[in-house]
Structure 1
């Protein structure tokens, strides 16, 4: 439905208000016929008298049609600018510049985290990732892709002639007096090129841990652990589980003039005042390993390691924790208990793990029911019925018993049995609780929790 080229000029040619009032979307026309999208709620009683052409109808769902009619003025503007940009006779750089500014502005209004620009048949599709889900917002003539690619590469200081190799860059654009930062990734495809623009929204790092939406028991356990002056705190979950947002919120909580905080990131997503952030740059020899080898000489109080990815980074984290530093890190694992197995799989010393590991927070993100339409579908939620996300989590506090079991290399099932005796609340339990509060649905919980 969204990968069909809609001629938005038709909303001007005819009467825009007519289409909005009657819930009809014009697609395209020729001298003889006019094509429309319609839905069950479309008012078609007099439509044959309103257009002096052969009319063709394609039925779609009501919410799909209302989504096509949403933000109509912006979509009409983008379509007009796209036509001007590909006009070989009258086009100029201003048209594509205005198109990009309008596109960026639209992505921020719709709370997109990423814009995907890619070829599909003879079209260029624009997909926005909102609340973790990709959705096609519109499609334009394929000729626009090369023009956009060249312009975005130019403002991101990349080689505009390079289409055979991937490139990464950054750029900034001012949107209504606020400057937004963007990360650009280009990738050659079999047909042409895929462009992905990541919107680096500072609101993500300005969240306090109170704003993460953690359940009260999880929040209180985490808050208590942040008072520690040494030890290892791990945040775990798959890609897209919100680990970075949680870790940045923790850094904001810990940040003070009395503490030296150093981060090792690949790349640095967001800059935080008064924190020493180090970006991995293998091109100049500043590898993950080189940074970690030398980090303790900087006399830090708190070390943040973007991701524990191998035995080397784990050993550094454990050694630093043992020698009087508070170490925060993320690690890929299914849940809190399996994180212990993951550490063992990396051949870490059981004594070091048992001595330093203080807390494991495993988390996922679930979509919330839209608060504006109460899950019916509206412009705010892009007619998806969901708006924003909540964190569901489990927090494993490493007490003396668990520490002893780790030291003795006990079977992981023994730790699981022990957790049952202390009424440990799992991510699934937390998800069910949020369902009972009518924050999300059980379907959403099952999508992200697979045990």
Structure 2
């Protein structure tokens, strides 16, 4: 291809010799315009390189309306910036001035809202103006915001019409399809549900709520409603409406007068359509303290001492859904102050914690890689969402041994099982033993409904088992109870608890504190969970089931519930 200058000279020469001067002049002007545009792009590219920025030329780039719509046209013109790429996981913005502070704030908010990773590119004014044309291709439809507002009036209306969530089926029959999503979300919030399940089946749609860890059927809807309900939820969650054959994830925010609820929505293709599960995360959960989590007595005192240590590992152990993340968040909240640097690596980030640097793990940025990165951030306290492999375990141990307090979780049945799990991953015993401070084993039990609980007479066989367990309590705890005069309670079911007998949940815990005997067992390498458990009890550990029974004696939960969860 001839150089830019040669092209101009050729055209000038042609203009002097051609009889059709007007036609040649048009060609000359067009070529000159192209050359100017190329020069502008070259200058912009060089500027990006000198500033250490990425560069993008949007001429000819396939900009999708979905990406463009993430920044409205008014803001785009104001900030001289457009979103030119978005696929649900990655977001790319082109800007004439990438350092603009307002743009940086908008960019950060987009990443938080869409839970994706992003990047800002430098583009030329011409490239930006070219991209603006595509706003005309965005359909002019009424905007449905992802910040979904259900006010107290909506909730009160639901409460007046339905005293029990089991009445939802009958109530739904008289609700306009455009309001069904609002009714479902309102009902879930009023029922204190942690999850909403909407499942397309062969001939209908099933709606279920998980309340206090148990799934309940609440409604069956006509199959013909599915498309509108799912489309509505996809719009709210900001995922692609036209994709039903691939999994998608999104977020919805619900603002109440005294609370905010973040909803993590998962869309999964199934044989009969799609399955939607929405996890409700209440901002008010962050107001929890150790006391209302359920820590008491010896366990409470032990955990307070252990989180005050400057280094070492504190591990929350239990199965999925046992409240490990909430426990770790309460520890972080307790330790958070202006003199302490706290950094986390999580997947996903469930709650935004003010004053704490939270990092989102993904497929290309796993826990081990993230941990190595955040150690270089000069932290005092680290949180790793979960230890599930040797690489993360080794990096966590090294962090704990080099002056950091490290918090994490591990999937085991109880506190004693965490140590064999570390060793089975391949962790070195001589490094694991000095790095561990404490392991918190935990489960969640349902609370007795305070409105309808009454004294419960339990059978002789169960009573004998209860006494056997309470006899093994450490002396201090045992002296506070009368084993020969035990009283227990259970909820009977009322309108307040939707006829269930339970309302809310509380933790039952065991805190395994490291000592020389347990360290010797770890160094022996070939140890069993049973040996560690017995050693911990010998040294004064109150077990989860014992903690649960002490709570049952206070009327907080029932004996039946403790044994259901902990044994």
> What's the TM-score, normalizing by structure 2?
0.62
Q: Report what 2:147 is aligned to.
A: none
Q: Report what 1:116 is aligned to.
A: 197
1:72/1:168 CA distance change after superposition, 3 Å: closer
Contact 1:113/1:198, CA 8 A, preserved across alignment: yes
Contact 1:105/1:175, CA 8 A, preserved across alignment: no
Contact 1:187/1:195, CA 8 A, preserved across alignment: yes
1:105 is the counterpart of 2:186: yes
1:263-278 equivalences in 2 (<5 Å): 263-278=344-359
1:437 is the counterpart of 2:546: no
1:136 is the counterpart of 2:235: no
Partners of 1:357 and 1:446 in 2: how far apart? 29
1:391 is the counterpart of 2:507: yes
1:234-245 equivalences in 2 (<5 Å): 234-245=315-326
Give the alignment partner of residue 80 of structure 1, picking from 161, 170, 174.
174
- Which secondary structure does the structure 2 equivalent of 1:205 belong to? helix
Q: Report what 1:446 is aligned to.
A: 563
- Which secondary structure does the structure 2 equivalent of 1:197 belong to? strand
Contact 1:209/1:253, CA 8 A, preserved across alignment: no
Partners of 2:242 and 2:566 in 1: how far apart? 44
Deviation string 1:106-165 (CA, Å, 9 cap, x unpaired) is 211110111111134533221111111111122222212211111111121111111111
1:170 is the counterpart of 2:264: no
Contact 1:110/1:380, CA 8 A, preserved across alignment: no
Q: Which moved more, 1:292-301 or 1:441-450?
A: 441-450
Partners of 2:315 and 2:201 in 1: how far apart? 41
Q: Report what 1:320 is aligned to.
A: 399
Partners of 1:225 and 1:392 in 2: how far apart? 18
Higher RCO (C-alpha under 8 Å, 6+ residues apart): 1
Q: Which moved more, 1:305-314 or 1:135-144?
A: 135-144
> Structure 1 stretches of 5 or more lacking a match?
1-66, 86-95
Partners of 1:295 and 1:218 in 2: how far apart? 30
1:421 is the counterpart of 2:530: no
Q: Which moved more, 1:115-124 or 1:172-181?
A: 172-181
1:52-451 equivalences in 2 (<5 Å): 70=164, 78-81=172-175, 84-85=176-177, 96=178, 98-176=179-257, 178-282=259-363, 285-374=364-453, 375-409=491-525, 411-412=527-528, 413-450=530-567
How many angstroms does 1:311 deviate by? 0.4
1:72/1:394 CA distance change after superposition, 3 Å: closer
How many angstroms does 1:79 deviate by? 3.0
Partners of 2:167 and 2:377 in 1: how far apart? 54
Contact 2:433/2:519, CA 8 A, preserved across alignment: yes
Q: Between Structure 1 and Structure 2, how many residues are aligned?
A: 369
Partners of 1:175 and 1:106 in 2: how far apart? 14
1:420/1:171 CA distance change after superposition, 3 Å: closer
Q: Which moved more, 1:129-138 or 1:267-276?
A: 129-138
How many angstroms does 1:172 deviate by? 1.6
- Which secondary structure does the structure 2 equivalent of 1:298 belong to? coil
Partners of 1:145 and 1:211 in 2: how far apart? 40
Q: Report what 2:39 is aligned to.
A: none
| Structure ranking higher in helix proportion | 2
Partners of 2:415 and 2:299 in 1: how far apart? 13
CA RMSD of aligned residues (A): 2.1
Partners of 2:233 and 2:250 in 1: how far apart? 10
Contact 1:367/1:440, CA 8 A, preserved across alignment: yes
- Which secondary structure does the structure 1 equivalent of 2:417 belong to? helix
Partners of 1:146 and 1:181 in 2: how far apart? 24
Q: Which protein is bigger by CA-based radius of gyration?
A: 2
How many angstroms does 1:432 deviate by? 2.1
1:178/1:321 CA distance change after superposition, 3 Å: closer
How many angstroms does 1:228 deviate by? 0.4
> Structure 2 stretches of 5 or more lacking a match?
1-160, 454-490
Partners of 2:228 and 2:369 in 1: how far apart? 40
> What's the TM-score, normalizing by structure 1?
0.77
1:273/1:417 CA distance change after superposition, 3 Å: closer
